[in-house]
Amino acid sequence: MVQDAFGFTVTVTEEGCRLDRYLCDHLPACSRTFAAHLIRNGHVSVNHRPAKPSTRLHWGDLISGTIPAPAPLRLLPEPIPLDILYEDRHIIAVNKPLVVHPAPGHFQGTLVNALLHHCPDLQPIGGEIRPGIVHRLDKDTSGVLLAAKHRDALERLAVQFRQREVTKVYLALVRGVFDADRGRIEWPIGRHPTARKKMSIQSRRPRAAVTTWRVRRRFHGASLLEVNLETGRTHQIRVHCAAMGHPVLGDAVYGNPVRDRQVAGMPVERQMLHAWRLSLVHPAKAATMVFQASLPADLQALVDALEAGGVR
């Protein structure tokens, strides 16, 4: 039994895109891993022929395929407390804990386990019974996370994210003090040319990335920024801040974790980045919704310690 079928035609501006990346951009809430799974298991074709995840596409190519019926549930629901910001029968917005998706070493105690317990009537999404998490936050980034409870809500929300109709505002505690009060960064981002797990503005195949920022507070040696994402590239804020010479405090990939191990007498055990506010149109009510998450305890404590040391 097949859950869904799809078909797309590659446009001239999409020529050269990898097939797995193309599917991520065109299928609702499709991860790179799930796209590659579909392709490798023969569920996707290019011009009616089998392809590989790395296949480069050409203008006019026909991409067609099917999403198989949901696989049996592999994750167990767990009665884990949730910090719920909003909930109805279509969506749920939560203040995300630091472990969200199951990964090696994290098969239990995740947000997914908690949502499966809290929402027992979840409908099949993405090839298995799972909460339809609409957008992703880096593992160590806290803040607002939105999940759809059924496929129609997921598809409507995914269109908004894809068409950049969603307002995403973050708070970032970064190293150094800015002279300017606000700015705009338009440096394209892509895979790092040598370190494949990193992103970079020096990529051989970058994609447009736009970040705006303003300084909320200046401390001695650090600044609290309000950051608005106009695009949604992987690690975008962290890459752009590091490229400006102001890496996010505690960022083990793009910053200096040894130097940041302790700041203002406080331990820093993760990147100090928080998804503060998310604004979009409700998928069923056609009303604008704004979800906001207060600072987590560790980030608030570090801000307080920096303030005690003096504000500039």
- For residue 61, the 8-state DSSP code is P
Q: Which of 164, 79, 91, 83 is nearest to 131 (CA)?
A: 91
Whether the Cβ atoms of residue 2 and residue 66 lie closer than 8 Å to each other:
yes
Q: What are phi and psi of 130, to 5 degrees?
A: -160, 155
Q: Decide if 83 is catalytic.
A: no
Host H or E run for residue 311: none
Given 20, 83, 88, 138, the catalytic residue: 138
b/e burial code for range 272-294 (CB count within 10 A of at least 16 → b): bbbbbbbebbbbeeeeebebebe
Which CA distances in Å does 2 have to 17, 122, 231? Answer: 27, 18, 33
List CB contacts of 86: < 8 A, sequence separation 6 or more. Answer: 92, 93, 289, 291
Positions marked active-site: 138
